[in-house]
């Protein structure tokens, strides 16, 4: 922590609540003040003293092309020249929606928002309006943005109704959210059996990324699709992280499961504030103005956001064959990381899928929130600071995902492993 950074955080704290505009940025769970960023380019991010880091956070997922990709930046600049917001329809919105519908077959209609939170919040309201039911089900450790109904603490056991995960969420509302352990088929079947006729929707991260990476076990998502279909419950895949992360489409494309609604965000905005909800025409047309479920946004479909998103998706479409190489690079990195930790005699468990991974500081296996919580978070914090010191920017929490971008190079991998070697010496 340099004096410059200390001053910056202190100054921010004088005028911004907690000094940050989103809590994870405050680095509370790893101790120490956050490093302030000045700029970023490709796989690198730079702090205000000019120090360079290899970035594995990538703005929490969106920057799959690397920072400041020239084509994305050019698209934003071209668009900005022509005005930055109209509050009226543009062709860019149609083009964006067409790209999404093309890429994800379960999506017949789209509505753009300005954040993932708005997308999931809309998905819940729409499901309730469509089914005429009030309850929703989610899974412990999944994060779906900060809307009231979705910010419910890990429940314990099938019959446990949600309790407020935050002061300010009325208990009457929290009671309508059921939270079950991820990957627990037994709990799932029992809960559906008991609450089926009251459940409007089940929302799930098809790959969980917000308790660290946790993969769905064999049959979990398939069972979820079967049970929701049988009981007239709307199945919502929250693909805000996983959308366009593994292929030109969602994770659903790769497993052949079609949810009723899909929430997107992060990558589809190319680094601009964006979210989207899409799905079956029959459900989506219930949104105003065709339908009676209200949803709106002054800046929804914003020209700058659309131009960054369209540029990003078009590049990803061209690169569709390169996702495998990205996966190979991530596999190679994780394999070497495992070897280095083993040599040092520190137990870790790496959960990974394609270009997304978490190093859990424990033996594992990690398959739900309870098992994730058994990690040694203090050791993770020391690891985090060691890596940072050496020039590697990792998530400031054990319970987050790491990402690779197309801008990461073999040299980045080599340097990361060398930095890891140095960090392990003092860990």
Residues contributing to the site for ligand PLP (CB under 6 A) = 115-117, 120, 143-145, 205, 209-210, 238, 240-241, 265, 275
Strand order in the sheet with 402-403: 349-353, 356-360, 402-403
β-strand pairing of 109-113 with 234-238: unpaired
**Residue 137 · residue 184 · CB < 8 Å:** no
Q: Compute the distance between CA of residue 218 and CA of residue 14 in angstroms, rounded to an integer.
A: 50
Look up 260 and say whether it is catalytic: no
Residue closer to ligand PLP, measured from CB, 265 or 402: 265
- Closest approach of ligand PLP to the CB of residue 150, in Å: 8
Pick the catalytic residue from 238, 260, 368, 412: 238
By beta-carbon distance, which residue lies closest to ligand PLP?
116
- Strand ranges in 280-355 using DSSP code E only, listed in sequence order: 349-353
Residue closer to ligand PLP, measured from CB, 117 or 307: 117
Look up 143 and say whether it is catalytic: yes
Residue closer to ligand PLP, measured from CB, 56 or 341: 56
Residue closer to ligand PLP, measured from CB, 55 or 238: 238
- Closest approach of ligand PLP to the CB of residue 144, in Å: 5
Counting Cα atoms < 13 Å in the Cβ hemisphere of 113 gives 21
Pick the catalytic residue from 46, 143, 182, 380: 143
- Closest approach of ligand PLP to the CB of residue 121, in Å: 9
Q: Compute the distance between CA of residue 148 and CA of residue 176 in angstroms, rounded to an integer.
A: 11
> Residue 108: helix, strand or coil by DSSP?
coil
Pick the catalytic residue from 266, 280, 352, 367: 266
3-state secondary structure 240-279: CCCCCCCCCCCHHHHHCCCCCEEEEEHHHHCCCCCEEEEE
- Closest approach of ligand PLP to the CB of residue 182, in Å: 13
Residue closer to ligand PLP, measured from CB, 123 or 176: 123
What are 356's strand-pairing partners? Answer: 353, 403
- Closest approach of ligand PLP to the CB of residue 262, in Å: 11
Residue closer to ligand PLP, measured from CB, 272 or 333: 272
CA distances from 380 to 41, 98, 383, 400, 424 (A): 27, 42, 5, 12, 12
**Residue 259 · residue 237 · CB < 8 Å:** yes
- Closest approach of ligand PLP to the CB of residue 63, in Å: 13
Residue the block writes with tokens 């899928």 = 353
Preceding amide of 192 cis, omega within 30:
no
Look up 7 and say whether it is catalytic: no
Catalytic residues: 143, 238, 266
């Amino acid at each position: 922590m340099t004096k410059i950074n200390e001053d910056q955080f202190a100054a921010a704290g004088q005028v911004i609540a907690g000094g940050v505009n989103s809590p994870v940025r405050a680095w509370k769970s790893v101790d120490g003040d956050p490093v302030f960023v000045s700029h970023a380019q490709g796989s690198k991010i730079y702090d205000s003293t000019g120090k360079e880091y290899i970035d594995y956070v990538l703005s929490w997922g969106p920057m799959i092309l690397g920072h400041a990709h020239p084509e994305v930046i050019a698209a934003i600049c071209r668009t900005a020249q022509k005005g930055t917001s109209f509050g009226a329809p543009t062709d860019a919105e149609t083009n964006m929606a067409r790209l999404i519908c093309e890429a994800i077959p379960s999506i017949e209609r789209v509505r753009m928002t300005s954040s993932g939170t708005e997308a999931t919040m809309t998905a819940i309201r729409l499901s309730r309006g469509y089914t005429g039911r009030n309850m929703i089900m989610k899974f412990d450790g999944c994060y779906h943005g900060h809307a009231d109904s979705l910010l419910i603490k890990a429940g314990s056991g099938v019959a446990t109704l949600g309790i407020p995960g935050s002061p300010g969420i009325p208990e009457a509302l929290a009671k309508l959210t059921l939270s079950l352990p991820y990957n627990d088929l037994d709990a799932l079947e029992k809960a559906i059996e008991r609450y089926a006729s009251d459940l409007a929707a089940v929302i799930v991260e098809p790959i969980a990324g917000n308790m660290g990476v946790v993969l769905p076990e064999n049959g979990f998502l398939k069972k979820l699709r079967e049970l929701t279909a049988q009981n007239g419950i709307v199945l919502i895949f929250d693909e805000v992280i996983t959308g366009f992360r593994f292929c030109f489409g969602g994770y659903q494309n790769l497993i052949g499961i079609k949810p009723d609604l899909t929430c997107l965000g992060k990558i589809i905005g190319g680094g601009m504030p964006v979210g989207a909800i899409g799905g079956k025409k029959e459900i989506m047309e219930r949104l105003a103005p065709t339908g009676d479920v209200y949803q709106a946004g002054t800046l929804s479909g914003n020209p700058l956001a659309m131009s960054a998103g369209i540029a990003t998706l078009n590049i990803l479409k061209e690169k569709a064959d390169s996702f495998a190489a990205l996966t190979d690079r991530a596999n190679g990195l994780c394999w070497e990381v495992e070897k280095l930790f083993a040599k040092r005699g520190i137990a870790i468990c790496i959960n990974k899928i394609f270009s997304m991974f978490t190093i859990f500081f424990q033996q594992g296996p990690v398959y739900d929130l309870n098992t994730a919580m058994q990690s040694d978070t203090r050791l993770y914090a020391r690891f985090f600071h060691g890596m940072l010191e050496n020039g590697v920017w990792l998530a400031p929490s054990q319970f987050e995902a790491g990402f690779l971008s197309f801008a990461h190079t073999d040299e980045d991998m080599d340097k990361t492993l060398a930095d890891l070697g140095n960090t392990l010496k003092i860990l």
